[in-house]
Structure 1
Amino acid sequence: IDQYQAEGVTQLEITIEGWSKNGLYGNQPEQFPVEKKLGGNKGLKELQEYAAGKGVNLYLKANYVKPYQDSNGVKASRDAVRGINREVLKQYVYYLSTRWNTDDYFYLMKPSVIAKRSNAELSKFQDLGVKGVQFEHFGSLLYSDEDNKSNTDRQLTEDTYVNALDNFRKGELNTAVDYGFAYTLGHVNRIDQVPLDSSQFVYTDRAIPFYQLVLHGLVPYTASPVNLYDDSRNQTLRALEYGALPSYELTYAPTSDLQRTMADRLFSSSLENWLAPSVQNYLALKEVYDSISNQQMTNHEQLQSKVFRTTYANGVSIIVNYNEQSVDVSGQTVEAFSYAVTGG
């Protein structure tokens, strides 16, 4: 927080992951107590108070849906959903590169367990004073339960998610989800990692921001972390084209500390490497996002090959150029891998 604010980044929203007992894959679906190595409840409350004093919104990521196989908070035969074979359903970690599962797997919790755990811990989040809670999987994972003793369908899982989101909002806590399935709309204050591309199936001509045309100006949404793309420049332009706020998933320790762990997807996360680029990105784009933040997206069009224009209700238009050379648009030059803002 101090390093960013010293560089002129004044509007920060931070979500902490892995703060629960035994860390990221520890005690879920229970979120409390707070991991002692991180200072426990006292240390987290001090951090929240410090962040609030600096004008920073602090969210905590909560996983009530998908605990790891070794979690101390799960009795699988009782708490986990079952597949069509009536056996406890296990979700293995699968690598596309090798087409092999690992030995690591996760359970999916019954809706009744999700409801019970989230309701029981609402007051604990309130006591910490955090701005909000990011509910992992609520906006991106829907499933049924084929257990003969407690058979449930996807509608019940959806209702469970929505009720939990509403309960936390009634408790004066903001809520956030990933991806943003439609049933979460109207129940969240932020959507993270919204889709910024199509399926890329062969019958698709090109992607259009239909989701964003509907949502922009009604609820803030962020793009997937810029630092986890092979081309961060391209991802930043994509976020700008679709009106999504840029985000970063960072660690204070070097990324190499995560080798041979289940968090190896964070292949480039060190704050030391990403502080300067993310600050530069913020300072360059802040005025642009300020001008469109509460505006309805009214049009999106392809002007040339790899050149797109997005227009908003107040007349602001953003032209992005994904080409390796500059292009001329209506007498205006847009540099390679860059953007231009007009109107408003």
Structure 2
Amino acid sequence: MPTASQLSLTNANSLDNGMVLALENDLLALYIHPKTAEAALQDKRNGEWWYTNPHDGTGKARDKIGAQLMVQYYEDGLPGEYSSVTHSIANGQFQLMKTETGIRIVYTFSNKKVSLDEFPAEIIKERFDELLEQAGSDSDREELNKRYRFVEAKNSYEARKMSDFVMEKILNIIDNAGFKVEELSGKAAEKRDEGMDITKPAYLEIPLDYVLDGDQLVVSVDTQDIKVPPQFTLSMLKLLPYFGAADGDQKGYVFVPDGSGGLISLNRDKPGASQYRTQLYGRDGSLTLEENMDNSAIARLPVFGLKQGNRAWFSVIEQGDGIASINAEIRDKIQNYNIVYSQFNITPNDQMELKGNNKSNVFPVFPQERFRGTIVQRYFFLYNDRADYSGMASTYRNYLVETKGLSKKQQGENGDIPFYTSLIGSIPKQSSFLGIPYTSQVALTTFEQTKVIVEELLSRHVSNIKLRYEGWFNGGITHTIAQKISVEKDLGGASGLKELAQWLAAREVEWFPDVSFYNVYTDSSGFSATRDAARYISGKPVQKYNYNPANYQKVDGGAISHILSPSKIPAVVAKFAEAAGQYGLTGLALTDLGGELYSDFRNGSMIDRQQAASIVTNQLQGLHDGIGSLMMLGGNAYALPYADHILEAPLSGGGNNIIDEQVPFYQMVLHGYVNYAGEPLNLGADQDSRLYLLNMLETGASPFVLWSYQPSSMVKNTAFDYLYSIQYTDWLETAAQLYTEANEVLRKVSGKSIVHHSQIADNVYQTEYEQGLSITVNYNEHQVEVNGILIEARSYIVGGAGR
């Protein structure tokens, strides 16, 4: 905890709205209201103001929009929610403190004290019936019926055991129905449910720190300093949910990291689509999921922002991103503001079902430990021509360069773009002998056949080939735990692998043997699920499953792999790196280490996702330093400084209907620093090579194919039947032609940053690079005219300097 002292705010530097100067530097001044804890930030460079909360609203509306923190919790297993307005500020339960670097506000949360004389623990039947009749809504009536039980012998209703939060809710229902508590029962003080202590409010204490860092605001919560009462489980924490909120008159958009990036227009009427939520880095696979209806794109960057008019703010989650979600809401009939904010899963929970006597009950279960790290969020403020998603992308790129070690790649002037080829070596296939089933390995592409494919590409003038090779060791593509290397003999064995490496090097083809560290596909002597797998909260080993796309249900027997505990990854990586030394590897492809993230809820040695991200980051650094160039699938933010190539980078979004426009924010951050490609050309949803080319040109991506030498029919009736079109001969000519056309354009911007991107007409987009070159893409089925220049249907033009 930082050293802190009581802060006394005087009126010497106060504003007309009662806010008082609390903190300042040469560029910014932070004011805080001593009665509401609301903060206002003045940018001294231009006189612009930014507020943690809007200024209007009363009653229940103010309880929301006036909050700096909102908390979801469980008390004795029952859910509840706190607002810093209603449950801290309104009770005068907060402290303003000065720290060595900034300001700390300590919020003490509790419900208002409910005494035995106030709470109607017993209501006579006649009055209860009247209360039901006068209740404001069906949900209020349902709540009353749920919280009281009828006792026939007394002809009255008795309160069940409930939390302070629920009791306050009941009192609000009674008040809204126009009743006074004393009217309902003369015996209110005579009954107390067993175990229900309604005379003591529960206290929860959370500190919120503000620091000014140059022209940026840094907000943090040190969860080590959170005080949680014994009967409480702190579940979720929403941080500054109304910061920089845009009201119903503003024009602009909310930016969210949906896939490549998404824009949500302010104040746009969208019935049934007023909220957005996504968990950073995808869902935690160490939490159970019986049905999977979520097809949304993974958010791989811990960023979000909001543009209104000629100004914008942009936020980066510096710490706590592993447990964070991004939420956005647009103005609707209930609230008059457009907002975007972060939410942190302090204590995850699973659902457990208990069955008996023809009944089933579902209740939450929690791990033994909660997150105890620090949450840190940094705010940037952008104006005029920088106040858009292009400015946000530039800001985040510079941030990664300055703080995370992201560096520009040394690519020669007008260097050829990469051509990514992923080849599948050996796969398992079910066979039978005399009616007895067994699993055998089938070679889809041997080392010698790899040479044939590469020669075919080179002969068609495809250059700068980056070759990923899957399924080359320890049982093929579903290999055993990667702590030793046994090269598949049916592919050519160890000698064949070494000879292939030399052959490729002689032709300047960089190659990346693929390995999975998180996913352990096959039990072996080196792996024990009991000892080595991550654990669900229930204590069972974590497994990855297939889900039926028709009913979204988990497929029986559909477990794909076990998930290795993050605590085991360093030892496994070290053993693999040692074994790899004898093969002279200079590159490595990582199936899962750069794009998947898991907790381990093992009792006594829990690892949360933030800790897991730290473990993975250290291993990526070690592999990069020890082996060399790294190729990754997905590319989460914490992995980017160590990634040389990213495959299956997000080039679009997940189809969330609240998103108005997908933008290549991810690519705008990385172009010139990390090479990337989207999904494989031959496995795309429509396999439209022209559309694929246009998307490459708009986003600066390179082509990517996933091939085999053997016919695609070889994967039929296997777990890999989704690889329905992988024989290289079916795609060779198309891929070579696509590369030639794309390379002619994109080699001109090799190593250059994207400085601006915009939609200039319906389905027409322009991408501008440093030093002035631009690419304008027309996705329409008809020609369009842009600035006096015709662009043919499904075509593009190249303009600007360096054309």
Q: Which one of the candidate residues 722, 727, 739 is aligned to 1:265? A: 722
Kindly, what percent of the aligned residue pairs are identical?
33
Q: Which residue of 1 aligns with 2:747?
A: 290
Q: In structure 2, what residue type is equivalent to 1:6?
A: S
User: Per-residue deviation at 1:200?
Assistant: 2.1
Q: Which residue of 1 aligns with 2:663?
A: 208
Q: Which residue of 1 aligns with 2:698?
A: 241
User: Higher strand share goes to which structure?
Assistant: 2
Q: Which one of the candidate residues 508, 511, 514 is aligned to 1:61? A: 514
Q: In the alignment, does 2:537 pair up with 1:80?
A: no
Change (3 A) 1:55 1:342: same
Q: Which residue of 2 aligns with 1:136?
A: 591
In structure 2, how many angstroms separate the alpha carbons of the residues matched to 1:120 and 1:69? 18
Superposition TM-score, scaled by structure 2 size: 0.42
Change (3 A) 1:152 1:118: same
In structure 2, how many angstroms separate the alpha carbons of the residues matched to 1:55 and 1:337? 34
User: Higher helix share goes to which structure?
Assistant: 1
Q: Which one of the candidate residues 321, 328, 333 is aligned to 2:785? A: 328
User: Per-residue deviation at 1:150?
Assistant: 2.3
Any idea what SS the aligned residue of 2:730 has?
A: helix
Question: Is 2:483–2:575's contact at 8 Å kept on the other side of the alignment?
Answer: no
Q: Which one of the candidate residues 575, 587, 592 is aligned to 1:120? A: 575
Q: Which one of the candidate residues 676, 682, 695 is aligned to 1:221? A: 676
Q: Which residue of 2 aligns with 1:173?
A: 628
Which stretch of the first structure deviates more once superposed, 316-325 or 71-80?
Answer: 71-80
In structure 2, how many angstroms separate the alpha carbons of the residues matched to 1:243 and 1:82? 40
Question: Is 1:176–1:189's contact at 8 Å kept on the other side of the alignment?
Answer: yes
Q: Which one of the candidate residues 551, 555, 558 is aligned to 1:104? A: 558
Q: Which residue of 2 aligns with 1:47?
A: 500
Q: Deviations over 1:273-305 (max 9, x none)?
A: 011001101111112121112111011111111
Q: Which residue of 2 aligns with 1:305?
A: 762
Question: Is 1:25–1:71's contact at 8 Å kept on the other side of the alignment?
Answer: no
Which stretch of the first structure deviates more once superposed, 54-63 or 111-120?
Answer: 111-120
Question: Is 1:292–1:312's contact at 8 Å kept on the other side of the alignment?
Answer: yes
Aligned residues: 344
Q: In structure 2, what residue type is equivalent to 1:139?
A: G
Change (3 A) 1:69 1:52: closer
Q: Deviations over 1:107-164 (max 9, x none)?
A: 1101232211111121333332333111111222111111114211112221222112
Superposition TM-score, scaled by structure 1 size: 0.95
Any idea what SS the aligned residue of 1:300 has?
A: strand
Q: Which residue of 1 aligns with 2:487?
A: 34
Instruction: Map residues 159-198 of structure 1 onto 2, 5 A cutoff.
Output: 159-198=614-653
In structure 2, how many angstroms separate the alpha carbons of the residues matched to 1:335 and 1:97? 40
In structure 1, how many angstroms separate the alpha carbons of the residues matched to 2:790 and 2:778? 10
Q: Which residue of 1 aligns with 2:708?
A: 251
Question: Is 1:28–1:72's contact at 8 Å kept on the other side of the alignment?
Answer: no
Any idea what SS the aligned residue of 1:311 has?
A: strand
Any idea what SS the aligned residue of 1:238 has?
A: helix
Any idea what SS the aligned residue of 1:186 has?
A: helix
Change (3 A) 1:209 1:326: same
Give me the CA root mean square deviation. Answer: 1.6
Change (3 A) 1:4 1:135: same
In structure 2, how many angstroms separate the alpha carbons of the residues matched to 1:131 and 1:199? 35
Question: Is 2:470–2:513's contact at 8 Å kept on the other side of the alignment?
Answer: yes
Q: In structure 2, what residue type is equivalent to 1:104?
A: G
Q: Deviations over 1:302-335 (max 9, x none)?
A: 1111111111002111111111112222222222
Q: In the alignment, does 2:687 pair up with 1:231?
A: yes
Q: Which residue of 2 aligns with 1:14?
A: 467
Higher alpha-carbon Rg: 2
Q: Which residue of 1 aligns with 2:612?
A: 157
Q: In structure 2, what residue type is equivalent to 1:9?
A: V
In structure 2, how many angstroms separate the alpha carbons of the residues matched to 1:159 and 1:196? 26
Q: In structure 2, what residue type is equivalent to 1:211?
A: Y
Any idea what SS the aligned residue of 1:341 has?
A: strand
In structure 1, how many angstroms separate the alpha carbons of the residues matched to 2:572 and 2:459? 39
Q: In structure 1, what residue type is equivalent to 2:504?
A: A
Any idea what SS the aligned residue of 1:201 has?
A: coil
User: Per-residue deviation at 1:73?
Assistant: 4.3
In structure 1, how many angstroms separate the alpha carbons of the residues matched to 2:540 and 2:721? 30
In structure 1, how many angstroms separate the alpha carbons of the residues matched to 2:678 and 2:735? 14
Q: Which residue of 1 aligns with 2:601?
A: 146
Q: Deviations over 1:62-96 (max 9, x none)?
A: 10111225556421001101111111122211132
In structure 1, how many angstroms separate the alpha carbons of the residues matched to 2:579 and 2:697? 37
Any idea what SS the aligned residue of 1:107 has?
A: strand
Q: Deviations over 1:46-69 (max 9, x none)?
A: 111100011100101110111225
In structure 2, how many angstroms separate the alpha carbons of the residues matched to 1:269 and 1:71? 30
User: Per-residue deviation at 1:202?
Assistant: 1.6
Question: Is 2:480–2:522's contact at 8 Å kept on the other side of the alignment?
Answer: no
Any idea what SS the aligned residue of 1:308 has?
A: strand
Question: Is 2:781–2:794's contact at 8 Å kept on the other side of the alignment?
Answer: yes
Q: In the alignment, does 2:548 pair up with 1:92?
A: no
Change (3 A) 1:336 1:130: farther
In structure 1, how many angstroms separate the alpha carbons of the residues matched to 2:498 and 2:607? 38
Q: In structure 2, what residue type is equivalent to 1:184?
A: A
User: Per-residue deviation at 1:15?
Assistant: 0.3
